[in-house]
Amino acid sequence: MWDLLLIGLFITLEPLPIAAFTFVLSTENGARKGLGFLFGWLVCLVVIIFLTVGATGGQPPTAKSVPGRIASIAVIAIGALLVVVAARKRRQIKAGPRKPKAPPSWVAKVDSMSAWAAASLGVLLQPWPFVAAGAALIVQADTSSAQSVVYLVLFCLVSCASLLTMEIYMVVAPDDALDRLTALRQWIESHRDSVIEILAWVGGIALLAKGLYQLVA
């Protein structure tokens, strides 16, 4: 299940949630709101894991069974979706700079946002194509195996690693963290499409290869 950790890496490197999280941290009581955001983010992933494992009974379907083939087709479909996203980002980059979009509505409310509202934001801003890819791979988890359980725990930890690192930095050195996180957000705003394109290409091709191999092996 090493590929599950790869998806977790893509989730934690997705630029849009990182940029949103840096913005949340920069507000009044940002560290507390950041904890709420992290809580919502992690709970969302844990719920998805429990629902997926519950649907399979903790036993991965065999490759030649109907559920196994459906799981493989789902992996292929998600991989194809990511390749389409990557191709669209490539066209947008080649087309040149776009007009700046209006900030999302939650930005105007973030200063007065409660920790619970920040938690809901952590759920809404999940990079859902990659989360769906993770769910498709979790289908293969065998909860009777300690190794699979370790992989599931590591998936959660890797998926929130970037956010957790920023939260700890904000708590330990708030003044320094504010400057560096602001610089990080500005860099993301300038390179967002390129980062998304790279993640989508790598993730899409990896999932396509895995799904196709499962179908024909």
Average pLDDT along the chain, 217 residues, taken 10 residues at a time = 88 93 90 95 94 87 79 90 93 78 76 90 93 89 88 94 95 90 89 91 92 84
CA–CA distance, 160 with 38 (Å, rounded to integer): 7
28: which 2 tokens? 């009044």
Write down the domain spans for the chain: 2-97+128-216
pLDDT of residue 100: 66
* Closest by CA position to 1, among listed 123, 133, 162: 133
Cα separation, 95 vs 142, in Å, equals 46
Q: What is the CA radius of gyration of the chain?
A: 18
Listed residue (5, 7, 25, 10) closest to 121, CA to CA: 25
For 142, counting Cβ atoms within 10 Å of its Cβ (0-12 exposed, 13-18 middle, 19+ buried), the class is: middle
What is the spatial distance between Cα 158 and Cα 8, in angstroms, rounded to a whole number? 5
Q: 31 φ, ψ to 5°?
A: -65, -40
pLDDT (0 to 100) of residue 67: 78
Looking at residue 34, its pLDDT comes to 94
* Burial (CB count <10 Å: 0-12, 13-18, 19+), residue 151: buried
Q: Give the tokens for residue 134.
A: 């993770």
Q: How far is residue 87's CA from residue 197's CA, in Å, rounded to a whole number?
A: 7
User: Is pTM beyond 0.75 here?
Assistant: yes
The predicted pLDDT at position 98 comes to 67
